[in-house]
Protein backbone atom coordinates (compact mmCIF):
# COMPACT_ATOMS: atom_id res chain seq x y z
CA UNK A 1 0.00 0.00 0.00
CA UNK A 2 2.88 2.38 0.78
CA UNK A 3 4.38 1.96 -2.70
CA UNK A 4 0.99 2.66 -4.28
CA UNK A 5 0.66 5.88 -2.30
CA UNK A 6 4.05 7.02 -3.55
CA UNK A 7 3.24 6.10 -7.15
CA UNK A 8 -0.07 7.93 -6.94
CA UNK A 9 1.70 11.06 -5.71
CA UNK A 10 4.15 10.88 -8.62
CA UNK A 11 1.21 10.61 -11.03
CA UNK A 12 0.02 13.90 -9.53
CA UNK A 13 3.40 15.58 -10.12
CA UNK A 14 5.28 15.04 -6.87
CA UNK A 15 8.83 13.74 -6.48
CA UNK A 16 9.36 10.71 -4.27
CA UNK A 17 11.08 12.94 -1.72
CA UNK A 18 8.09 15.25 -1.67
CA UNK A 19 5.77 12.27 -1.27
CA UNK A 20 7.78 10.70 1.56
CA UNK A 21 5.36 12.00 4.20
CA UNK A 22 2.73 9.60 2.85
CA UNK A 23 4.67 6.66 4.29
CA UNK A 24 6.18 8.26 7.38
CA UNK A 25 3.84 6.34 9.73
CA UNK A 26 5.05 2.98 8.45
CA UNK A 27 7.76 1.10 10.36
CA UNK A 28 11.21 1.91 8.91
CA UNK A 29 11.62 -1.44 7.09
CA UNK A 30 8.18 -1.09 5.46
CA UNK A 31 8.89 2.53 4.56
CA UNK A 32 12.16 1.51 2.89
CA UNK A 33 10.46 -1.32 1.01
CA UNK A 34 7.70 1.01 -0.22
CA UNK A 35 10.24 3.43 -1.64
CA UNK A 36 12.29 0.66 -3.21
CA UNK A 37 9.24 -0.83 -4.91
CA UNK A 38 8.10 2.58 -6.14
CA UNK A 39 11.55 3.20 -7.63
CA UNK A 40 11.56 -0.16 -9.41
CA UNK A 41 8.11 0.43 -10.88
CA UNK A 42 8.99 3.93 -12.08
CA UNK A 43 12.07 2.54 -13.84
CA UNK A 44 9.87 0.10 -15.77
CA UNK A 45 6.48 1.79 -16.08
CA UNK A 46 6.46 1.91 -19.89
CA UNK A 47 7.80 -1.62 -20.10
CA UNK A 48 4.97 -2.82 -17.83
CA UNK A 49 2.36 -1.06 -19.96
CA UNK A 50 3.68 -2.64 -23.15
CA UNK A 51 3.49 -6.11 -21.61
CA UNK A 52 0.05 -5.56 -20.07
CA UNK A 53 -1.66 -3.92 -23.06
CA UNK A 54 -2.48 -7.13 -25.00
CA UNK A 55 -3.83 -8.70 -21.81
CA UNK A 56 -6.31 -5.92 -21.11
CA UNK A 57 -9.67 -5.49 -22.85
CA UNK A 58 -9.46 -1.81 -21.98
CA UNK A 59 -7.11 0.30 -19.91
CA UNK A 60 -8.25 0.26 -16.26
CA UNK A 61 -8.48 3.21 -13.89
CA UNK A 62 -5.14 4.68 -12.75
CA UNK A 63 -5.19 3.11 -9.28
CA UNK A 64 -5.80 -0.35 -10.75
CA UNK A 65 -3.10 0.20 -13.37
CA UNK A 66 -0.64 1.03 -10.59
CA UNK A 67 -1.51 -2.23 -8.82
CA UNK A 68 -0.95 -4.20 -12.05
CA UNK A 69 2.42 -2.53 -12.65
CA UNK A 70 3.53 -3.12 -9.09
CA UNK A 71 2.75 -6.83 -9.19
CA UNK A 72 4.32 -7.16 -12.65
CA UNK A 73 7.59 -5.67 -11.42
CA UNK A 74 7.55 -7.79 -8.27
CA UNK A 75 7.20 -10.98 -10.29
CA UNK A 76 9.25 -10.29 -13.42
CA UNK A 77 11.92 -7.83 -12.29
CA UNK A 78 12.35 -8.71 -8.62
CA UNK A 79 11.66 -12.47 -8.89
CA UNK A 80 9.09 -12.52 -6.09
CA UNK A 81 6.82 -15.56 -5.83
CA UNK A 82 3.86 -15.18 -8.24
CA UNK A 83 1.35 -16.63 -5.77
CA UNK A 84 2.11 -14.03 -3.12
CA UNK A 85 2.35 -11.11 -5.56
CA UNK A 86 -0.99 -11.97 -7.24
CA UNK A 87 -2.82 -12.45 -3.96
CA UNK A 88 -1.43 -9.18 -2.58
CA UNK A 89 -2.49 -7.32 -5.73
CA UNK A 90 -6.02 -8.72 -5.56
CA UNK A 91 -6.26 -7.70 -1.91
CA UNK A 92 -5.07 -4.19 -2.77
CA UNK A 93 -7.69 -3.91 -5.50
CA UNK A 94 -10.47 -5.03 -3.17
CA UNK A 95 -9.31 -2.55 -0.53
CA UNK A 96 -9.46 0.37 -2.98
CA UNK A 97 -13.24 0.73 -2.89
CA UNK A 98 -16.29 -0.56 -4.71
CA UNK A 99 -14.81 -0.13 -8.19
CA UNK A 100 -11.64 -1.85 -7.05
CA UNK A 101 -13.67 -4.79 -5.76
CA UNK A 102 -15.33 -5.05 -9.17
CA UNK A 103 -11.88 -5.09 -10.82
CA UNK A 104 -10.38 -7.74 -8.51
CA UNK A 105 -11.29 -10.64 -10.80
CA UNK A 106 -9.67 -8.94 -13.79
CA UNK A 107 -6.54 -8.18 -11.71
CA UNK A 108 -6.29 -11.84 -10.72
CA UNK A 109 -6.73 -13.12 -14.29
CA UNK A 110 -4.31 -10.65 -15.88
CA UNK A 111 -1.57 -11.17 -13.31
CA UNK A 112 -1.76 -14.95 -13.68
CA UNK A 113 -0.92 -14.38 -17.35
CA UNK A 114 1.87 -11.99 -16.39
CA UNK A 115 3.40 -14.64 -14.12
CA UNK A 116 4.08 -16.75 -17.20
CA UNK A 117 5.37 -13.91 -19.36
CA UNK A 118 9.05 -13.93 -18.38
CA UNK A 119 10.23 -14.40 -21.97
CA UNK A 120 8.18 -11.56 -23.52
CA UNK A 121 9.25 -9.35 -20.62
CA UNK A 122 12.92 -10.10 -21.25
CA UNK A 123 12.57 -9.14 -24.91
CA UNK A 124 11.29 -5.65 -24.09
CA UNK A 125 13.82 -2.83 -24.09
CA UNK A 126 14.34 -0.52 -21.12
CA UNK A 127 11.94 2.41 -21.20
CA UNK A 128 13.02 5.32 -23.34
CA UNK A 129 13.88 8.80 -22.21
CA UNK A 130 11.16 11.37 -22.93
CA UNK A 131 11.49 13.06 -26.32
CA UNK A 132 12.54 16.43 -24.86
CA UNK A 133 15.58 14.75 -23.29
CA UNK A 134 16.24 11.91 -25.72
CA UNK A 135 16.54 14.25 -28.70
CA UNK A 136 19.51 16.23 -27.33
CA UNK A 137 21.16 13.05 -26.01
CA UNK A 138 20.97 11.33 -29.41
CA UNK A 139 22.16 14.50 -31.15
CA UNK A 140 25.17 14.70 -28.85
CA UNK A 141 26.25 11.06 -28.59
CA UNK A 142 24.14 8.90 -30.88
CA UNK A 143 21.43 6.27 -30.60
CA UNK A 144 23.65 3.58 -29.08
CA UNK A 145 24.67 5.83 -26.20
CA UNK A 146 21.06 6.87 -25.60
CA UNK A 147 20.06 3.19 -25.36
CA UNK A 148 22.96 2.48 -23.01
CA UNK A 149 21.90 5.40 -20.78
CA UNK A 150 18.35 4.02 -20.73
CA UNK A 151 19.68 0.61 -19.66
CA UNK A 152 21.70 2.27 -16.90
CA UNK A 153 18.60 4.12 -15.71
CA UNK A 154 16.66 0.87 -15.44
CA UNK A 155 19.50 -0.77 -13.52
CA UNK A 156 19.39 1.94 -10.87
CA UNK A 157 22.29 3.22 -8.79
CA UNK A 158 24.56 1.63 -6.19
CA UNK A 159 25.57 3.41 -2.98
CA UNK A 160 28.74 5.52 -3.24
CA UNK A 161 30.73 6.91 -0.32
CA UNK A 162 33.40 9.59 -0.12
CA UNK A 163 35.97 8.97 2.64
CA UNK A 164 37.18 11.69 4.98
CA UNK A 165 40.46 9.86 5.40
CA UNK A 166 41.74 6.48 4.34
CA UNK A 167 39.26 3.96 5.70
CA UNK A 168 35.89 3.42 4.07
CA UNK A 169 33.62 0.40 3.56
CA UNK A 170 32.96 -0.83 0.05
CA UNK A 171 34.83 -1.43 -3.20
CA UNK A 172 37.46 1.19 -3.97
CA UNK A 173 36.78 2.98 -7.27
CA UNK A 174 39.59 4.44 -9.43
CA UNK A 175 38.48 8.02 -8.72
CA UNK A 176 38.70 7.69 -4.92
CA UNK A 177 35.08 6.87 -4.07
CA UNK A 178 33.88 3.60 -2.53
CA UNK A 179 30.93 1.59 -3.79
CA UNK A 180 28.40 -0.66 -2.07
CA UNK A 181 25.28 -2.42 -3.40
CA UNK A 182 22.02 -0.50 -3.69
CA UNK A 183 19.85 -0.89 -0.63
CA UNK A 184 22.74 -0.98 1.83
CA UNK A 185 21.66 0.43 5.20
CA UNK A 186 23.85 3.49 5.54
CA UNK A 187 23.57 4.01 9.29
CA UNK A 188 24.64 0.42 10.00
CA UNK A 189 27.96 0.73 8.15
CA UNK A 190 31.22 0.99 10.11
CA UNK A 191 32.39 4.59 10.38
CA UNK A 192 28.95 6.18 10.11
CA UNK A 193 28.72 7.40 13.69
CA UNK A 194 32.38 8.46 13.64
CA UNK A 195 31.80 10.54 10.50
CA UNK A 196 34.54 8.77 8.55
CA UNK A 197 32.66 9.14 5.23
CA UNK A 198 29.51 10.48 3.62
CA UNK A 199 27.16 9.40 0.84
CA UNK A 200 28.00 10.99 -2.51
CA UNK A 201 27.84 9.67 -6.07
CA UNK A 202 31.25 9.01 -7.59
CA UNK A 203 30.56 11.48 -10.41
CA UNK A 204 29.48 14.24 -8.03
CA UNK A 205 32.63 13.73 -5.97
CA UNK A 206 34.82 14.59 -8.96
CA UNK A 207 33.81 18.27 -8.96
CA UNK A 208 35.65 19.01 -5.71
CA UNK A 209 38.53 16.75 -6.71
CA UNK A 210 39.00 18.78 -9.90
CA UNK A 211 39.02 21.99 -7.86
CA UNK A 212 41.91 20.45 -5.88
CA UNK A 213 41.44 22.39 -2.63
CA UNK A 214 44.51 23.13 -0.52
CA UNK A 215 44.85 23.73 3.23
CA UNK A 216 44.14 27.33 4.16
CA UNK A 217 42.61 28.35 0.84
CA UNK A 218 39.51 30.53 0.99
CA UNK A 219 36.85 28.72 -1.04
CA UNK A 220 33.12 29.27 -1.54
CA UNK A 221 30.80 26.39 -2.30
CA UNK A 222 27.84 28.08 -3.98
CA UNK A 223 24.50 26.21 -4.01
CA UNK A 224 26.07 23.91 -1.41
CA UNK A 225 23.22 21.69 -0.15
CA UNK A 226 23.13 18.79 0.64
CA UNK A 227 26.79 19.34 1.40
CA UNK A 228 28.92 16.55 -0.04
CA UNK A 229 31.23 18.96 -1.82
CA UNK A 230 31.43 21.23 1.23
CA UNK A 231 32.58 18.22 3.25
CA UNK A 232 35.25 17.44 0.66
CA UNK A 233 36.57 21.00 0.72
CA UNK A 234 36.57 21.14 4.52
CA UNK A 235 38.28 17.75 4.80
CA UNK A 236 41.08 19.10 2.59
CA UNK A 237 41.71 21.88 5.12
CA UNK A 238 40.22 24.77 3.16
CA UNK A 239 38.43 27.69 4.82
CA UNK A 240 35.00 27.03 3.35
CA UNK A 241 31.96 29.23 3.02
CA UNK A 242 28.95 27.07 2.13
CA UNK A 243 26.17 29.11 0.58
CA UNK A 244 22.61 28.05 -0.22
CA UNK A 245 19.40 29.95 -0.83
CA UNK A 246 17.41 27.43 1.27
CA UNK A 247 17.77 27.58 5.05
CA UNK A 248 16.22 24.10 5.55
CA UNK A 249 18.61 22.61 2.99
CA UNK A 250 21.49 24.40 4.69
CA UNK A 251 20.45 22.72 7.94
CA UNK A 252 21.23 19.39 6.26
CA UNK A 253 24.72 20.66 5.46
CA UNK A 254 25.15 21.56 9.14
CA UNK A 255 24.05 18.05 10.19
CA UNK A 256 26.51 16.43 7.80
CA UNK A 257 29.36 18.67 8.95
CA UNK A 258 28.59 17.87 12.58
CA UNK A 259 28.52 14.10 12.02
CA UNK A 260 31.79 14.21 10.13
CA UNK A 261 33.43 16.56 12.65
CA UNK A 262 34.22 19.16 10.01
CA UNK A 263 33.61 22.89 9.96
CA UNK A 264 32.52 25.49 7.42
CA UNK A 265 30.86 28.88 7.52
CA UNK A 266 27.21 28.51 6.50
CA UNK A 267 25.41 31.37 4.77
CA UNK A 268 21.74 31.36 3.74
CA UNK A 269 21.59 33.76 0.79
CA UNK A 270 21.02 34.07 -2.92
CA UNK A 271 24.38 33.38 -4.53
CA UNK A 272 23.78 36.20 -7.03
CA UNK A 273 23.65 38.72 -4.18
CA UNK A 274 26.48 37.41 -2.00
CA UNK A 275 30.03 38.72 -1.93
CA UNK A 276 32.91 37.72 0.36
CA UNK A 277 34.83 40.32 2.38
CA UNK A 278 37.90 39.66 0.22
CA UNK A 279 38.54 37.84 -3.08
CA UNK A 280 38.59 34.07 -2.98
CA UNK A 281 41.19 31.53 -4.03
CA UNK A 282 38.54 29.31 -5.60
CA UNK A 283 34.79 28.83 -6.11
CA UNK A 284 32.85 25.64 -6.63
CA UNK A 285 29.59 26.29 -8.49
CA UNK A 286 27.34 23.25 -8.67
CA UNK A 287 24.61 25.21 -10.41
CA UNK A 288 20.85 24.61 -10.27
CA UNK A 289 19.96 22.45 -13.25
CA UNK A 290 17.49 19.99 -14.75
CA UNK A 291 18.96 17.15 -12.61
CA UNK A 292 18.61 14.85 -15.64
CA UNK A 293 21.92 13.24 -14.69
CA UNK A 294 20.29 11.73 -11.60
CA UNK A 295 17.42 9.83 -13.26
CA UNK A 296 18.82 6.45 -12.23
CA UNK A 297 18.32 7.62 -8.61
CA UNK A 298 15.18 9.66 -9.30
CA UNK A 299 13.27 7.83 -12.06
CA UNK A 300 10.20 9.97 -11.45
CA UNK A 301 11.89 13.04 -12.98
CA UNK A 302 10.98 12.21 -16.63
CA UNK A 303 7.41 11.68 -15.44
CA UNK A 304 6.98 15.04 -13.72
CA UNK A 305 9.06 17.31 -15.96
CA UNK A 306 8.68 18.17 -19.62
CA UNK A 307 11.72 20.32 -20.34
CA UNK A 308 9.82 23.56 -19.77
CA UNK A 309 11.86 26.23 -18.06
CA UNK A 310 15.19 25.10 -19.52
CA UNK A 311 15.82 28.52 -21.04
CA UNK A 312 15.32 30.15 -17.65
CA UNK A 313 17.61 27.57 -16.02
CA UNK A 314 20.45 28.06 -18.48
CA UNK A 315 20.09 31.83 -18.09
CA UNK A 316 20.41 31.48 -14.32
CA UNK A 317 23.45 29.23 -14.73
CA UNK A 318 25.14 31.84 -16.92
CA UNK A 319 24.43 34.63 -14.41
CA UNK A 320 25.73 32.53 -11.54
CA UNK A 321 28.87 31.66 -13.45
CA UNK A 322 29.52 35.30 -14.35
CA UNK A 323 28.95 36.39 -10.74
CA UNK A 324 31.15 33.61 -9.35
CA UNK A 325 34.05 34.83 -11.48
CA UNK A 326 33.84 38.27 -9.85
CA UNK A 327 34.41 36.66 -6.45
CA UNK A 328 37.84 35.32 -7.42
CA UNK A 329 41.19 36.93 -6.94
CA UNK A 330 43.34 37.26 -10.10
CA UNK A 331 44.63 33.81 -10.93
CA UNK A 332 41.78 32.21 -8.97
CA UNK A 333 39.98 29.13 -10.20
CA UNK A 334 36.38 28.07 -10.56
CA UNK A 335 34.80 24.68 -11.06
CA UNK A 336 31.44 24.81 -12.82
CA UNK A 337 29.31 21.68 -12.54
CA UNK A 338 25.78 20.54 -13.39
CA UNK A 339 24.20 17.12 -12.78
CA UNK A 340 22.67 17.20 -16.24
CA UNK A 341 22.73 15.15 -19.43
CA UNK A 342 21.86 18.19 -21.54
CA UNK A 343 24.70 19.86 -23.47
CA UNK A 344 22.81 23.15 -23.05
CA UNK A 345 23.68 23.00 -19.36
CA UNK A 346 27.24 21.82 -19.91
CA UNK A 347 29.24 22.00 -23.12
CA UNK A 348 27.20 24.88 -24.56
CA UNK A 349 27.30 26.76 -21.27
CA UNK A 350 31.09 26.49 -21.20
CA UNK A 351 31.44 27.69 -24.80
CA UNK A 352 29.28 30.71 -24.06
CA UNK A 353 31.26 31.55 -20.91
CA UNK A 354 34.55 31.45 -22.80
CA UNK A 355 33.09 33.77 -25.44
CA UNK A 356 31.96 36.24 -22.77
CA UNK A 357 35.21 36.15 -20.78
CA UNK A 358 38.45 36.37 -22.80
CA UNK A 359 40.41 36.17 -19.53
CA UNK A 360 39.18 32.62 -18.86
CA UNK A 361 41.07 29.45 -19.67
CA UNK A 362 39.94 25.85 -19.33
CA UNK A 363 42.32 23.64 -17.39
CA UNK A 364 42.02 19.99 -18.44
CA UNK A 365 40.69 17.82 -15.63
CA UNK A 366 43.38 16.16 -13.58
CA UNK A 367 42.36 13.69 -10.89
CA UNK A 368 42.93 9.97 -10.29
CA UNK A 369 40.79 7.61 -12.33
CA UNK A 370 39.67 10.05 -15.03
CA UNK A 371 39.61 8.28 -18.40
CA UNK A 372 40.65 10.13 -21.58
CA UNK A 373 37.31 9.44 -23.26
CA UNK A 374 35.50 11.45 -20.60
CA UNK A 375 37.30 14.68 -21.52
CA UNK A 376 35.58 16.88 -24.11
CA UNK A 377 37.25 18.78 -26.93
CA UNK A 378 36.87 21.95 -24.84
CA UNK A 379 38.70 20.39 -21.90
CA UNK A 380 35.60 19.79 -19.79
CA UNK A 381 34.60 16.53 -18.16
CA UNK A 382 31.48 14.77 -19.48
CA UNK A 383 30.20 11.96 -17.27
CA UNK A 384 27.22 9.76 -18.20
CA UNK A 385 25.24 6.93 -16.57
CA UNK A 386 26.42 4.45 -19.21
CA UNK A 387 30.09 4.88 -18.25
CA UNK A 388 31.60 2.20 -15.98
CA UNK A 389 28.83 -0.29 -16.94
CA UNK A 390 30.79 -3.15 -15.37
CA UNK A 391 30.93 -1.24 -12.08
CA UNK A 392 27.33 0.01 -11.97
CA UNK A 393 27.58 3.34 -13.79
CA UNK A 394 27.62 6.87 -12.41
CA UNK A 395 25.40 9.94 -12.43
CA UNK A 396 25.44 12.25 -15.44
CA UNK A 397 27.55 15.37 -14.86
CA UNK A 398 29.35 18.11 -16.72
CA UNK A 399 32.33 19.62 -14.91
CA UNK A 400 34.79 22.27 -16.07
CA UNK A 401 37.74 23.80 -14.23
CA UNK A 402 38.32 27.44 -15.23
CA UNK A 403 41.20 29.77 -14.42
CA UNK A 404 40.86 33.55 -14.22
CA UNK A 405 43.98 34.97 -15.82
CA UNK A 406 46.26 36.63 -13.26
CA UNK A 407 46.52 40.40 -13.55
CA UNK A 408 42.95 40.92 -14.86
CA UNK A 409 39.76 41.71 -13.02
Task: Please check if 223 is assigned to a binding site.
Answer: yes
Task: Please check if 286 is assigned to a binding site.
Answer: yes
Task: Please check if 277 is assigned to a binding site.
Answer: no
Distance CA 146, CA 7 (A): 26
Name 264's Cβ contacts closer than 8 Å, sequence gap at least 6: 221, 230, 233, 234, 240, 241, 242, 253, 257
Provide DSSP, 94-107: HTT-HHHHHHHHHH
On the 0-12 / 13-18 / 19+ scale of CB atoms within 10 A, 308 is exposed
Q: How many CA atoms lie within 13 A of 250 on its CB side?
A: 17
Task: Please check if 113 is assigned to a binding site.
Answer: no
Task: Please check if 227 is assigned to a binding site.
Answer: yes
Task: Please check if 270 is assigned to a binding site.
Answer: yes
Closest CA to 152 of 339, 391, 392: 392
Task: Please check if 242 is assigned to a binding site.
Answer: no
Of 48, 260, 289, 339, the catalytic one is: 339
Distance CA 195, CA 347 (A): 36
What is the SS3 string spanning 20-48?
HHHHCCCCHHHHHHHHHHHHHHHCCHHHH
- Catalytic status, residue 260: no
Distance CA 138, CA 207 (A): 25
> Strand, coil or helix: what is 392?
coil
Q: Are 67 and 3 in contact (CB under 8 A)?
A: no
Residue 20, number of CB atoms within 10 A of its CB = 15
Per DSSP, 375 falls in state B
Task: Please check if 244 is assigned to a binding site.
Answer: yes
Binding residues for S-adenosyl-L-methionine: 223-229, 244, 270, 286
Annotated binding site: 223-229, 244, 270, 286
Which sequence positions are flagged as catalytic?
339
Amino acid sequence: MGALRLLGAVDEGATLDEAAALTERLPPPDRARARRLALEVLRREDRCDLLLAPMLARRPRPEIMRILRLATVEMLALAEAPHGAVNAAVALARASGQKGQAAAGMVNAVLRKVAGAAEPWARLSPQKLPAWLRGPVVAAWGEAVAAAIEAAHEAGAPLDLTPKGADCPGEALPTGSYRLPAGTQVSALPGYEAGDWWVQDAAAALAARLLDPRPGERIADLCAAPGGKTLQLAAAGAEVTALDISQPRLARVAENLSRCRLSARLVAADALDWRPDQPLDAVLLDAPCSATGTIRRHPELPRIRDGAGLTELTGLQARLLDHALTLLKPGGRLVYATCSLLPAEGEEQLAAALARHPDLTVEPPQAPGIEPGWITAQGGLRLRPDLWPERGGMDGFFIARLRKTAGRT
